[in-house]
Structure 1
Amino acid sequence: MGLAEGTTEFLMTLDLKLSNNQYTTVISANAQMSDADNDVSEQFFFNLDHVLTNTCKEDKIILLGDFNARVGHDLELWSGTIGKEGAGKATSNGILLLSKCSEYSLVITNTIFRWSDRNKTTWKHARFKHWHLLDYVIVRAHD
């Protein structure tokens, strides 16, 4: 097992040895609020890009955390990246996340399986009382 590497205050990686030359890279993410400065969101996704670029192509990836992003349910546009069970309308952070997942052939697993809204959503807006899906588990599409 490798040591956790603090990439930034919002991203951390951990390399786990599975067998001979097989590794899984676990990436923990905690993005800024979606109403944060656009530069902050773009910097987060720039740093995520750096982590994904430097992950061995043969490694399995488990990317998980709070992305403060809604990815919506546009299966036609994001086929292969999301499944039929997305929720809500995509936000700007959601589009950035979808683009990054598409670029690296990653799939957002939360959108594949049918769950009740109570079990699918992860955050409730305090004022409007709406529930949203903001936390994701993401893996390579071929895994």
Structure 2
Amino acid sequence: MKYTNKPRINTLSFDDDHGKRLKDNELRACTWNVRSLNGIGADARLVDVLIKNCDIYWSGHTNKRSFGVRFVVGERLCRQVLAFTPVDERLTAIRIKAKFFNISFICAHTPTEEKDDEVKYTFYEQLERTYQRWPRHDIQVVLGDFNARVGKEGVFGPTVGKFSLHNETSPNGLRLIDFAGARNMVISSTRFMHKKIHQATWLSPDRNTRNQIDHVVIDGRHASSVLDVRTIRGPNIDSDHYLVAAKIRTRLRAAKTMEQKTQGKLDVEKLQSKQTANDFATRLSHLLSESTTHPEGIQEQSEHVSKAVLPPREKLVTSGHEKTTGTMKNAALPPKEKTLPTGLR
């Protein structure tokens, strides 16, 4: 066996998942704190690393290049989005339609340990209001960069798992545990045994310190639905954080279809009959003369004539054959922009 001094390069991408195909009853929810997406082509590189076909929902400053939280929704879930709620530059929420229970995701970016307690208190108050906004029967998931080290102290009971990277809890970790424990939630990112390299979510600039500060929190009723949470080290977009992926067992609702009548086929041969042609002209003139609107512009006049043509055409010229096609799409949602740190697929 030959040994070399060349560094090992991990080429694992987000979509590979170690060669395992994502099952139909599994959902992958990820969180990733990236440095900045304001550079030229940064958002395009991020989408290329995560998911090729996706919709991106953004919340943050419109004229200030600081903070901001986003959701990237994969192609499989694009038509399952029920609602999107941008809160501020540190919080945003999205609701996904599923078969038995809908899923509410909240993406959070907590202030660091150095910030004043007042700033942290304000953040958790806003997080509480956002959490209370969604239906209680939903599967509630809060994920993101909490800047919180969670220890292995047994006093926290079922709220914290046994496989945290750290032994002691930081002040931000206590705030996170208080928030989760008061709402019967579980910090799932500490419940699964992995190697330390697959637990650490942040790497210091000198590459000597590793912390587990990005977490996935889910309500206790559905804690068993989380099959795994681990760090994926392959994807790289020049960030000091690693991508954290949670695999959740759930069934998505199939896209519903609705019947939509298309315009009937025109039977032009009927116009060869003088009687039909005269009836058509008479009805059209009658409808135009009865109209109470008097459009001024050319486009308005054209639309007015087109609407007047429809009734006599359907009665005299349209054939009896009709077909039904079409797919029901989701209701209109707020504008989407191409940037993010949280992905769903």
TM score, norm. by length of structure 2: 0.39
From 61, 64, 88, the equivalent of 1:8 is 88
Residue 126 of structure 1 and its aligned partner are, at CA, apart by 3.0
Aligned pairs (5 A) from 1:1-143: 1-19=81-99, 22-74=101-153, 76-88=154-166, 89-126=168-205, 129-143=208-222
| 1:93-134 Cα deviation digits (max 9, x unpaired) | 110000000011111111110111111011123358210000
| 1:20-52 Cα deviation digits (max 9, x unpaired) | 7x3110111111222112111111111111122
Equivalent residues of 1:72, 1:90 under 8 A apart? yes
| 1:52-74 Cα deviation digits (max 9, x unpaired) | 22221101012111001111111
Partners in 2 of 1:123 and 1:95 — Cα distance? Answer: 19
* Aligned AA (1:5): T
* Aligned AA (1:12): T
Structure 2: unaligned runs, 5 residues or longer: 1-80, 223-345
Between structures 1 and 2, the one with greater strand share? 1
Residue 3 of structure 1 and its aligned partner are, at CA, apart by 3.1
Partners in 2 of 1:91 and 1:3 — Cα distance? Answer: 34
* Aligned AA (2:98): L
Structure 1: unaligned runs, 5 residues or longer: none
The DSSP-based 3-state class of the residue aligned with 2:96 is: strand
The DSSP-based 3-state class of the residue aligned with 1:4 is: strand
The DSSP-based 3-state class of the residue aligned with 1:136 is: strand
| 1:61-93 Cα deviation digits (max 9, x unpaired) | 12111001111111x211111111123221111
The DSSP-based 3-state class of the residue aligned with 2:140 is: strand
Partners in 2 of 1:93 and 1:42 — Cα distance? Answer: 11
Bigger CA radius of gyration = 2
Partners in 1 of 2:161 and 2:130 — Cα distance? Answer: 24
After the TM superposition, which of the residue ranges 109-118 and 125-134 deviates more from structure 2? 125-134
The DSSP-based 3-state class of the residue aligned with 2:157 is: coil
Partners in 2 of 1:51 and 1:79 — Cα distance? Answer: 26
Equivalent residues of 2:164, 2:199 under 8 A apart? no
Partners in 2 of 1:142 and 1:70 — Cα distance? Answer: 24
Equivalent residues of 1:10, 1:31 under 8 A apart? yes
Equivalent residues of 1:80, 1:141 under 8 A apart? no
Equivalent residues of 1:65, 1:135 under 8 A apart? yes
Higher relative contact order (CA 8 A, sep 6+): 2
Partners in 2 of 1:93 and 1:84 — Cα distance? Answer: 19
